[in-house]
Copies of this chain bind each other. A is one copy, B any other.
Amino acid sequence: MTTTVFHPGWVLWMTGLSGAGKTTIALELDRQLRARGVRTERLDGDVVREGLTRDLGFTKEDREKNIDRVTFVAKLLSRNNVGVVCSFISPYKAMRDHVKKEVTNCIEVFIDAPLEVVESRDVKGWYKKARAGEVQNFTGINDPFEAPELPDIHVRTDQLSLEESVAKIISYLEVNHLIPTANA
Q: Which A residues form the contact surface with B (CB < 8 A)? A: 1-7, 39, 41, 48, 50-52, 55, 65, 68-69, 71-73, 75-77, 80-82, 177, 180, 184
Copies of this chain in the oligomer: 2
The complex places the Cα of A77 from the Cα of B73 at a distance, in Å, of: 9
The complex places the Cα of A4 from the Cα of B2 at a distance, in Å, of: 9
Given contacts A1-B7, A4-B4, A4-B6, 9 further A-B contacts (CB under 8 A): A1-B177, A1-B180, A2-B6, A39-B81, A48-B72, A69-B69, A76-B77, A80-B81, A80-B82
**A82 contact set on B, CB distance < 8 A:** 76, 80
**A68 contact set on B, CB distance < 8 A:** 51
Listed A/B pairs (8) with beta-carbon separation below 8 Å: A1-B6, A1-B177, A4-B4, A41-B80, A51-B72, A76-B77, A77-B80, A80-B82
> In the complex, how many angstroms separate the beta carbon of A152 from the nearest chain B beta carbon?
21
**A81 contact set on B, CB distance < 8 A:** 39, 80
